[in-house]
């Protein structure tokens, strides 16, 4: 009997994502908007979360069915106590070759070394902007980029593979597409742009707020960069001429 799980296109399922917690310290508008996930929002009671024993047991079953990669997610998985204990138990499962973690990075500075020592191999860190004010606005928690940047540095230093995820939303953070690319290039990190997606009708998704991959990539065309420069130069020139006209009027 073939014990591998396959999808409807007959492809073996190799990857399993495990959400270890539904809570998060951020309130990103595209995921957990603060007006819905407010102070009194009822997250799952602790008793409803899978225990670490249950997660390990399920992972063993999935591994026996062909799963090779595990990814721990949340909410924010680092809000769950003793995550390193879970990682160290998952690593021992026969057939599991790779364990990753998706995080907003805020607590990574504290945990990166322990996670690496426990056997974690990689982290995907969410970062939507390098502009402090914009980042605070987007995460809905007034948290600046510093802890995330420190988390990225700590993860690299601990020897974890690091990738950065940036959700791009129209009229929100498209100005950050190029700065983020420059930052990740300088850091030697792979950057993934993620389209603003509908996640269960709570995030006010509208097609008009989506920047497609194609439009993201357009920002990298020399034409687009030249046009931007032209706009900046023309803008400055226009401002200068307006100021000059005002000065002349004032002097006369």
Closest CA to 88 of 68, 118, 122: 118
> Which neighbouring-strand residues pair with 192?
165
Residue closer to ligand SF4 (CB basis): 27 or 60: 27
If binding is defined by CB under 6 A, does position 32 make contact with ligand SF4?
yes
CB of 75 to ligand SF4, least distance (A): 5
Encoded tokens for 185: 């290039």
Q: 95 or 144: whose CB is closer to ligand SF4? A: 144
In the complex, least distance from residue 33 CB atom to ligand SF4, rounded to whole angstroms:
9
Find the radius of gyration of the CA atoms of the chain: 23
Contacting residue, 124, 126, 176, 203, with ligand SF4 by CB under 6 A: 126
Does 135 interact with ligand SF4 (rule: CB under 6 A)?
no
Q: By CB under 6 A, is residue 176 in contact with ligand SF4? A: no
Sheet strand arrangement including 98-103: 15-19, 69-73, 98-103, 122-126, 161-168, 190-195
**Does residue 118 contact residue 158 with C-beta atoms inside 8 Å?**
no
Q: Minimum Å distance from CB 127 to ligand SF4?
A: 10
Binding of residue 26 to ligand SF4 (CB under 6 A): yes
How many CB atoms within 10 Å of residue 180?
20
3-class secondary-structure state, position 30: coil
Does 75 bind ligand SF4 (CB under 6 A)? Our answer is yes
Nearest to 32 by CA among 74, 83, 88: 74
Stretch that binds ligand SF4, among 40-48, 71-79, 116-124, 190-198 (CB under 6 A): 71-79
Told to check if 104 binds ligand SF4 by CB under 6 A, we report yes
Which residues make up the interface to ligand SF4 (CB under 6 A)? 24, 26-28, 31-32, 74-76, 104, 126
């Amino acid at each position: 009997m073939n014990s591998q799980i396959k999808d409807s296109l007959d492809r073996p399922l190799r990857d399993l994502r495990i959400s270890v917690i539904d809570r998060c310290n951020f309130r990103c508008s595209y995921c957990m908007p603060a007006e819905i996930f407010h102070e009194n929002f009822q997250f799952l009671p602790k008793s409803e979360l899978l225990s670490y024993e249950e997660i390990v047991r399920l992972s063993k079953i999935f591994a026996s069915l062909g799963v090779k990669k595990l990814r721990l997610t949340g909410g924010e998985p680092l809000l769950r106590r003793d995550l390193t204990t879970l990682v160290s138990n998952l690593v021992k499962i026969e057939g599991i070759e790779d364990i990753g973690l998706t995080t907003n990075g805020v607590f990574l500075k504290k945990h990166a070394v322990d996670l690496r020592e426990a056997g974690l191999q990689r982290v995907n860190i969410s970062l939507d902007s390098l502009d402090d004010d914009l980042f605070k606005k987007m995460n809905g928690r007034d948290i600046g980029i510093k802890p995330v940047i420190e988390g990225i540095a700590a993860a690299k230093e601990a020897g974890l593979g690091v990738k950065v995820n940036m959700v791009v939303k129209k009229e929100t953070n498209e100005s950050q597409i190029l700065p983020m690319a420059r930052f990740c290039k300088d850091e030697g990190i792979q950057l993934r742009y993620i389209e603003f997606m509908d996640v269960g009708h709570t995030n006010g998704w509208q097609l008009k707020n989506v920047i497609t991959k194609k439009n993201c990539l357009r920002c990298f065309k020399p034409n687009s960069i030249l046009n931007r420069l032209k706009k900046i130069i023309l803008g400055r020139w226009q401002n200068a001429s307006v100021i000059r006209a005002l000065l002349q009027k004032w002097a006369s």
